[in-house]
Structure 1
Amino acid sequence: MQANNDQIAELARTTARFSEAMRTGMAKAFDPVRVGVLQQAVEHGPLRAGEVAERLDALPSSITRHVKALTDAGLVGTRADPADRRAVLLEATGAGRAELQRFLDVGTQVFGAVIADWSATDVIALTGLLDRLIESWAAHDADQQQRAGRRSRPFGWSQE
């Protein structure tokens, strides 16, 4: 049996509330874009700042500011791109890798405290459902965006 429109709308509201709660909570404790830049450098570096901006869906000027702050803190380094000497590559330092791991460990502890009274079965079930939602979202994203592009935009969601 498929979900009806009311159930789908409730899921959309609930996931939006969850997303906002996560964003608000994280913004109080750290700069999520800066952490994202460091995580990209650790997991995918060396890479250009423009690539980081694309991956994080952020403005290049914002990424430049965060790269400078991370460089000043000794968490990332930059070097000339051998393929294009005008560009620089961003790469995590050992200190940056260690800092990101500490950050992830603290995040796991905080999340663990939030769900401390949940059963392992509930945690596994929610994780599986969220993974499925993410995969479905990715699989349907381009089609949905194209379909949405054909509708009028009273809220200005896109430019026509």
Structure 2
Amino acid sequence: MQASKSDLATLVATVERFGESLRRGTSRVYDPVRVGVLRVAAERGKVRPGEIAEVLDVLPSSVTRHVQVLAEVGFLVITTDPSDRRASLIEVTEAGREQVRQFVQAGVDVFGAVVADWPGEDVRALTGLLDRLLADWAEKGTDHQRAHRAKRRFGWSET
């Protein structure tokens, strides 16, 4: 049986509340874009700042500022791209990798405390459903957002 409009409205509200709660909680502890820059560099090896901006869906100028700060503290190294001397390549250092490891462990610790009373079966079920939601979102969500955005404009969001 398909979900009703009421079911979907409840899902949207719940996901939005969870996203906002996560955003508020994390922004008190760290800059999510800065951590994102570090994580992408750790996952991809040598990478251009523009690619990082694309992956994170943020402005390239924002990535540039974060890369500079992360390089100053020794978490990233900036080199010239040999295939295009005008471009830079970003690479994570071992100290940067350690920061990513600590960040991941902090997430495990926090989520572990939140779901400490949950049965493992519930944690695995939620993880599976979230993985499925993310995969379906990647496949269908962005196109539907663009189509919806083209049809409707929210005046307050354009200012």
- Fold-level match, TM-score > 0.5? yes
How far does the alpha carbon of each residue in 1:42-68 deviate from its partner, in whole angstroms, 9 at most, with x for none?
001211111111111111111111001
Give the structure 2 partner of residue 107 of structure 1.
107
SS of alignment partner, residue 117 of structure 2: coil
SS of alignment partner, residue 2 of structure 1: coil
SS of alignment partner, residue 12 of structure 1: helix
CA distance in 2, matches of 1:157, 1:138: 24
Counterpart check, 1:83 vs 2:106: no
The structural deviation recorded for 1:156 is: 6.0
SS of alignment partner, residue 46 of structure 1: coil
Structure 2 matches for 1:54-93, cutoff 5 A? 54-93=54-93
Give the structure 1 partner of residue 129 of structure 2.
129
Query: Structure 1 residues 86 and 123 mapped into 2: Cα distance closer, same or farther (>3 Å)?
Result: same
CA distance in 2, matches of 1:96, 1:134: 27
CA distance in 1, matches of 2:154, 2:103: 41
Identical aligned residues as a percent: 49
Give the structure 2 partner of residue 24 of structure 1.
24
What value does the CA root-mean-square deviation take over the aligned residues? 1.4
Matched to 1:50, the amino acid is: G
SS of alignment partner, residue 47 of structure 1: coil
Query: Structure 1 residues 109 and 146 mapped into 2: Cα distance closer, same or farther (>3 Å)?
Result: closer
Greater than 2 Å deviation, 4+ residue runs:
154-158
SS of alignment partner, residue 151 of structure 2: coil
CA distance in 1, matches of 2:139, 2:31: 29
Query: Structure 1 residues 93 and 118 mapped into 2: Cα distance closer, same or farther (>3 Å)?
Result: same
Report the TM-score when normalising by structure 2.
0.94
CA distance in 1, matches of 2:107, 2:146: 36
SS of alignment partner, residue 88 of structure 1: strand
Query: Structure 1 residues 56 and 146 mapped into 2: Cα distance closer, same or farther (>3 Å)?
Result: closer
The structural deviation recorded for 1:142 is: 4.2
The structural deviation recorded for 1:135 is: 1.1
Structure 2 residue ranges without an equivalent (≥5): none
What is the number of equivalent residue pairs in this alignment?
158
CA distance in 1, matches of 2:157, 2:137: 18
The structural deviation recorded for 1:106 is: 1.3
Give the structure 2 partner of residue 40 of structure 1.
40
